[in-house]
Amino acid sequence: MQREMRDERADIQGSPSRGRFLAFGGFALTMLGVIGYFVVVLHFAARLPQVRNDAIPNWILIEMGIVLSAFGVATAGAGHRRLPVVLTVLNGLVAMAFAALLYDFTLVPPASGPALGVAAPAFTLPDQGGRPVSLSDFRGRPLLLVFYRGHW
């Protein structure tokens, strides 16, 4: 009976290796979410621009990693929680850095320009051969303007 009580107490206190395993697994999921975002964006952003704008699958991985690390802290035995706590805090810092990178640093500042639906102002510029070309020459036809500086 006393042995059974000791075994139950050990189960309640948790296993240090299990807590570490869960914390490392959570950290690995978080890093997979962050690094996976950049791998996918660098390889598929040109063909799938929506991938760049929606990081929802990556956020799901990151959140699962944080929860798994927190579960690792909860299951670590007393006196064995330092590493799981450090990894959980590191998970949170990585998630905050990822959020800052995605949503703060990449914001495009608002630019002033003509209002939508308003006709473009009349202008005349030289073409590649130096001949003047006016915007009014193309009225009523589809037109794509490409402005570039210098020679390619």
Once rounded to an integer, what is the mean pLDDT over residues 5-25? 69
pLDDT exceeds cutoff 60 at 139: yes
pLDDT in tens, 50-109: 777 778 999 999 999 999 999 999 998 888 889 999 999 999 999 999 999 888 776 667
Radius of gyration of the chain (CA): 28
Helices (H), the chain: 2-13, 16-44, 49-53, 56-75, 82-103
pLDDT exceeds cutoff 90 at 132: yes
CA–CA separation, 150 vs 94, rounded Å? 42
pLDDT exceeds cutoff 60 at 3: no
Mean pLDDT of the chain: 82
> Considering only 3-17, 31-45, 74-88, 110-124, which range has the smallest mean pLDDT?
3-17
pLDDT exceeds cutoff 70 at 5: no
What are the extents of the domains in the chain?
2-103
How much of the chain exceeds pLDDT 90, in percent? 36
Predicted pLDDT of residue 2: 55
Confidence of residue 4 (pLDDT cuts 50, 70, 90): low
* φ and ψ of 126, to 5 deg: -75, 145
